[in-house]
A = this chain, B = another copy of it.
Amino acid sequence: MDDIRQNPSSGDEVALRRIQRLSLHLYTPSEPHSGGLSLLPCRAKRNLSPSVESLSEYMRGPHREIQARIFEFFQSRPDLQTPVEISMAEHRQLCMRQMTALVREAGIRPFRYLVENPSAYFAIAEAVGGVDISLGIKMGVQFSLWGGSVINLGTKKHKEKYFDGIDNLDYPGCFAMTELHHGSNVQALQTTAIFDPITDEFVINTPNDGAIKWWIGNAAVHGKFASVFARLVLPLQGKGGKSADMGIHAFIVPIRDLETHSLLPGVEIHDCGHKVGLNGVDNGALRFSHVRVSRDNLLNRFGDVSRDGKYTSSLPTVNKRFAATLGELVGGRVGLAYSSVGVLKIAVTIAVRYSLLRQQFGPPRKPEVSVLDYQSQQHRLMPMLASTYAFHFATQYLVDKYSEMKKTNDDQVIGDVHALSAGLKSYVTSYTARSISTCRESCGGHGYAAVNRFGILRNDHDIFQTFEGDNTVLLQQVAGDLLKRYQEKFKGGTLTMTWNYLRESMSSYLSQPNPVTARWEGEDHLRDPKFQLDAFRHRTSRLLQSVAARLQKHSKTLGSFGAWNRCLNHLLTLAESHIESVVLAKFIEAVQNCPDANTREVLKLVCDLYALDRIWKDIGTYRNVDYVAPNKAKAIHKLTDYLSFQVRGVARELVDAFDLPDLVIRAPIGMASEAYEQYTQHVGF
C-alpha cells in the first residue's frame, strides 16, 4: 500500500491519478513497523483474573430460584416461545397464552408476590421480560396496574370480590387512566363519573373525543374490567347547590361480559393498532357513553360517597387525595427501572460477546484482531458495561427500599422511594434506550438481523421512557424534591437518607474549589472513591444552589410557572446529576461490601470506569468552575481510555456473570460459544 501513499506516480491515465485520492478506502495506515500488535499501554500491571462464579454469586439477587423456575418452564415449552416474525394478532394471543400458562400451569402467582413479597414480584417481572418484553408488560398491566389499583386504591370489599379473579386470570383487566389529550397531566383528565343518587350509581361518561381513554393495555382484546380514572362529580354538593367536582378518582368498570366476552352497553372500544413495539400487548381506546356502575365500584380508600351522595375522606383537599392516589402507583416505576437494567444486560451481553468473536482488519501480515480490541469499540461498550453494573446495584437498592417501604410505611423511606424511583426510572430507561442502538451499531450488519435481538429489544423497550411517567416529567419531580430538601436544610428540617450528603457537605461543596486538589492528577487520587463522589456531589450541589437562585430571581417577573420553564434545562441537568451521585454512591458501597477480594478488585475497576467516564463526559462543567485544572482534565481522559482497555480484558467474565440463560439471550451472535455456527444454521445452512 506504501506506493499509494508516498509516490504520486507519473502515469497519466485518469484512473491512475484517481487512485491517489482513493487510497482513503484502504484506511489501514501505512507500513508495518513493529514486530506485532502492541495494544497494551506502557504501565505494567498484573492481570485481573475474575471468577465468573464469584462475581455471579455476588450479583445474583435473592430470588434467583423463582427466576430459574420461570426459565425452565419456558425452556420446556417451545410452543410458548415468541418467534422472530409474528403478526400482531398472533402475538397478542401468544402473550395471553404465555401469561395464562405461567399462572395456571407453572403455578407462579405474580399477584400474590406483588402483595406479599414485592421484591420477588420484580424478579418475576424481570425474568418474564427476558422471555418476551410484551409478556412482562402484559403481566404488569394485569397485576401491577389493574390489580394494584384494586388493592391499593380500593378497600376490603374490593379485595374480597376481585383478588382471586385477578390472581387466577378469570378477571383480566385494564388500567384506564391516559386519555387522548392527557397523559402526563393526569389532573386534567376529562372523563366524568357523576353520581346518580336516585339509582345509587355512578355514570361514567366520555364528554368529548379528547377524553377517549387511549393506549389502554388489555383493552383491545382480553380485558373484562377496567379501573377507570375519572372526575367524580356530586350533584347538589357544590356551592349554591351546584354540582361539585371532587377531582380524579378510580372506578371499577366492567367492559366485557364475563361469559360471552361481548362489549357491555355504552362501552365502545377501538384497537389502537400496531405499535413501534410491544405488539403482544393489546392496547385499546375506550369511549364510555353514560355507563352505569354501582356505588360500590368506586375505589374508595382515599375518598368515598355515601348513599345520600355526600363525600367523605380522611384527606382534606382534592390535591392531597390526588397525590395519595398517584402515590400508590410508584411500584410500576420501580419495576420499570429494574426491568430496564435486565434489558440492558441482554443487549450488552450480545454486543460484547460478538465484539470478542468478530475480527476485522489487523496489522500488516498478522491475523485480524477482535473488534473489541479497537479503542473506538471499547469506548462505546466498556463504559456501557460499567454502567450496567452501576445500575444493577442502584436498582437492587431501590427494590429493597420499596419492600421496606411496603413493610414499614416509614415516612423517610416513602420520600426516598418516590424521588429515587422517579429518578432511576427516568435515568436508567433513557440510558438503556440509547445503549441498545449503540449495541446494534457496534455489531454492524449482523446486529441488524432480527434474530440477533437488538431491533425487538429497542422497539419494545422504547416506551419505558414514556409510560408510568414521562422521563422529562419525572426528572422534574426529582428536581422539585431536591429544591424542597434544599429549603428544608435551611429550616433545619430532616433529610431523607439518599439526600443526606446535601446537608453534610453542601457548604464545603459550595465553597471555591481547592486550587491544590484541582491539580492532583495521580491515578491513586483519580481512583479514590472520595474524589469521585466529591466530584459528583460538588456538581449536584452547585447546580442546586444556582438553580434555586435563578428560580427565585425569575419568579418575580415570570411567575413560578414561567420561572420553572426558564430554568427547565438547568433543572433536568440537576436531577440527572443527583441521580448519578446516588448511583455512584451505591456502586461504591457494593464494591466495599463485596466479600471476595479478587471480585472486589474487578468491581472496583468497573466502578472507577463508571465514575471517571461520567466526569469526563461533563468535563466542561468541572473546568468552568476550575474544579479540575486543564492537566487534570487530560489525566482523567487518559485514565478513562485506559480503564476501558482494562475492563475489555475482563469483559467476557463480566457479561457471563449476568448469568443469562440462552433462552433469554437467544441471539445467535450473542451465544457464549459457536456463535457463527448457530447463525448459519439459523439461516438454513
* Contact call B437/A466, Cβ cutoff below 8 A: no
Contacts A27-B476, A320-B19: A466 and B445 contacting too (C-beta < 8 A)? yes
A5 CB-CB contact with B under 8 Å = yes
Which chain B residue has the least Cβ–Cβ distance from A414? B21
Chain A binding site: helix, strand, loop or mixed by DSSP?
Answer: helix
Bound complex: CA of A684 vs CA of B24, how far in Å?
55
A29 CB-CB contact with B under 8 Å = yes
* Contact call A209/B27, Cβ cutoff below 8 A: no
Bound complex: CA of A490 vs CA of B458, how far in Å?
48
Bound complex: CA of A462 vs CA of B459, how far in Å?
12
* Contact call A559/B38, Cβ cutoff below 8 A: yes
Indicate which residue in B27, B324, B462, B572 contacts A22 across the interface (CB closer than 8 Å): B324
1/0 per position for A438-474, CB-CB distance to B under 8 A? 0011001101111100110011001101110011110
* Contact call A212/B685, Cβ cutoff below 8 A: yes
Chain B residues near A272 (CB, 8 Å)? 449, 683
CB under 8 Å from chain B, chain A span 635-658: 641
1/0 per position for A315-354, CB-CB distance to B under 8 A? 1110110111011000000000000000000000000000
A484 CB-CB contact with B under 8 Å = yes
CB under 8 Å from chain B, chain A span 1-36: 1, 3-5, 9, 11, 13-36
Bound complex: CA of A465 vs CA of B182, how far in Å?
36
Task: Give the number of copies in the complex.
Answer: 2
Chain B residues near A393 (CB, 8 Å)? none
Bound complex: CA of A618 vs CA of B620, how far in Å?
8
Bound complex: CA of A128 vs CA of B534, how far in Å?
55
Indicate which residue in B14, B178, B376, B450 contacts A276 across the interface (CB closer than 8 Å): B450
Interface 9-mer from A51-59, A356-364, A520-528 = A356-364
A37 CB-CB contact with B under 8 Å = yes
Bound complex: CA of A212 vs CA of B459, how far in Å?
30
Among A323, A454, A564, A683: residue with most chain B CB under 10 A: A323
* Contact call A327/B18, Cβ cutoff below 8 A: yes
* Contact call A26/B683, Cβ cutoff below 8 A: no
* Contact call A23/B323, Cβ cutoff below 8 A: yes
CB under 8 Å from chain B, chain A span 141-195: 178, 180-185, 187-188
A207 CB-CB contact with B under 8 Å = no
Q: How far is the CB of A542 from chain B (nearest CB, A)?
A: 13
Contacts A19-B315, A276-B455, A561-B363: A26 and B445 contacting too (C-beta < 8 A)? no
Bound complex: CA of A618 vs CA of B621, how far in Å?
11
CB under 8 Å from chain B, chain A span 551-577: 551, 555-569, 572
A489 CB-CB contact with B under 8 Å = no
Bound complex: CA of A25 vs CA of B16, how far in Å?
69
Which chain B residue has the least Cβ–Cβ distance from A364? B561
A246 CB-CB contact with B under 8 Å = no
Q: How far is the CB of A168 from chain B (nearest CB, A)?
A: 30
Bound complex: CA of A615 vs CA of B364, how far in Å?
39
Chain B residues near A261 (CB, 8 Å)? none
Chain B residues near A17 (CB, 8 Å)? 411
A535 CB-CB contact with B under 8 Å = no
Interface 9-mer from A104-112, A117-125, A367-375, A587-595 = A367-375
* Contact call A273/B451, Cβ cutoff below 8 A: yes
* Contact call B18/A324, Cβ cutoff below 8 A: yes
A85 CB-CB contact with B under 8 Å = yes
Bound complex: CA of A555 vs CA of B101, how far in Å?
61
A262 CB-CB contact with B under 8 Å = no
A210 CB-CB contact with B under 8 Å = yes
Chain B residues near A440 (CB, 8 Å)? 276, 462
* Contact call B275/A444, Cβ cutoff below 8 A: no
Chain B residues near A558 (CB, 8 Å)? 33-34, 38-39
Chain B residues near A34 (CB, 8 Å)? 557-559, 561-562
Indicate which residue in B3, B22, B324, B567 contacts A19 across the interface (CB closer than 8 Å): B324
Chain B residues near A359 (CB, 8 Å)? 181
Indicate which residue in B11, B29, B274 contacts A84 across the interface (CB closer than 8 Å): B274
Bound complex: CA of A168 vs CA of B23, how far in Å?
35
Q: How far is the CB of A645 from chain B (nearest CB, A)?
A: 10
Given contacts A16-B314, A33-B558, A34-B558, 15 further A-B contacts (CB under 8 A): A15-B302, A25-B322, A27-B473, A39-B565, A84-B273, A84-B274, A87-B87, A180-B679, A181-B359, A184-B361, A276-B440, A276-B454, A434-B437, A441-B465, A445-B467
Enumerate 26 A-B pairs (CB-CB under 8 Å) in ascending A order: A1-B319, A9-B316, A18-B324, A18-B327, A21-B327, A24-B419, A24-B477, A26-B319, A28-B561, A28-B564, A33-B555, A33-B560, A38-B558, A180-B679, A212-B685, A273-B682, A275-B455, A276-B458, A285-B680, A285-B683, A375-B565, A375-B566, A433-B437, A440-B462, A455-B459, A619-B620
Give the top 9 A-B pairs by smallest Cβ distance, nearest first.
A34-B559, A276-B455, A620-B620, A33-B559, A274-B450, A21-B415, A22-B327, A375-B568, A270-B684
